[in-house]
Structure 1
């Protein structure tokens, strides 16, 4: 793509589309990538959706990049249209609990409720549930793993954390992601912070120049034995 030239966003996919792969965003205009060979990276965005997520979706569409959104259930109820746009644009939707609670402080029933309510909110809006979850703060224990396993959800952590929630500094977030990212990594970002969204264009452009391919978490882990309840921070060597 030439510098400064925006690529039109792909047309939205109807929720009535009969092909489940197309509904999940695996469109023919995207080249499927073999992450066992290619330099893949999965960008993930936590805590939304929020109003500012729309701008991030525009940026990702311009670069023809798919990401994974770990959404909070109560935010899904507030911004259901943005969640539906994430799915229609070909991004992956995953579970980030109902209220962003530290799950290790909850009972087994409390953990289950946080995840189940979010699954229900997601399913109501996009027609299906998820297969991935991310515990807030990365805080997990045996109760969390057990609840995730029962619900068929793998625990997705991260290999790269630019601490964008603490340092609302676009240039610093850019430098940290660009200096730390390696092939097969899962990168943690937050679409609730404008400073993080502002860092995305340079991250995408620079990593693409270095030969990286951007994929969803499920695409990154394709060919890896992904088991509900287990933790994944990067693509294991295959």
Structure 2
């Protein structure tokens, strides 16, 4: 072997020895799912969107590591698909709230089915998923609506209490009402088209967290209910399952 070749081999050996082993990227540990039977949970739900303030709301939810559920109208999903895509990407839940918000109890079966299906299609187009939960417009349902929801494989989820944001449109009033009706495994009705709701959300989330609440999706709150397609929860007064 030539001296030059020996030198080259020696240099190569030194380089191999000195080359550090590839560093493995640090793995971010996955957060354990919240068990709402063990901790205090509450689900904030936003109807009729995505509204034009949804981006600001999503920024706030991300900042405070809070999850929410958005019951979407297909007509607004169609006009604001990027918000829906972001909702799903950031771990929020999306539900079906019809396409154009008619009263299902005053609608023909074909209309109800069309309203649900068109919204399913728009959400799938925007975010690649289909909602698993239905919230009928105005919270109005009857046995026909229940049967159609069952055909779509969807339980219906209403709310335990409302923020009354659509009526007051006042930050302090919305916060006060929400805190007054907050309860363990509560489902709170809100709207992301109400600017005052979105404006007051940072303070409201901080207060709820200080009170020990975990802000989770509706599905986490209702998990223990084992709802079947067509079931409604909470059950309205006078409703027969």
TM-score, normalised on structure 2? Answer: 0.83
Look up the match of 1:93: 94
- Match of 1:204? 205
1:38-49 correspondence to structure 2 within 5 Å: 38-49=39-50
Q: What RMSD in Å do the two structures reach over aligned CA positions?
A: 1.5
For the pair 1:103 / 2:127, whether they are aligned, the reply is: no
Deviation at 1:228, TM superposition (A): 1.2
Per-residue CA deviation, residues 25-79 of structure 1 (Å, 9 max, x unaligned), is: xx96443111112111011011111221000000000000110000000100000
Larger Rg: 2
Normalised to the residue count of structure 1, the TM-score between the two structures is: 0.84
Q: What corresponds to 1:142 in structure 2? A: 143
Matches within 5 A, 1:122-201: 122-201=123-202
- Number of paired residues? 208
Query: Cα offset for 1:126?
Result: 1.6
Q: Deviations over 1:206-231 (max 9, x none)?
A: 11111111110111122331111111
Question: What does residue 228 of structure 2 align with?
Answer: 227
Contact 1:157 1:232 in 2 (8 A): yes
Hey, what's the Cα distance between the residues in 2 that align with 1:60 and 1:103?
31
Gaps of 5+ in 2: 1-27, 236-241
Alpha-carbon distance in structure 2 between the residues aligned to 1:217 and 1:78: 25
Unaligned runs of 5+ in 1: 1-26
Bigger share in helix: 2
* Displaced runs of 4 or more, over 2 A: 27-31
Q: 1:108 to 1:190 in 2, by over 3 A?
A: same
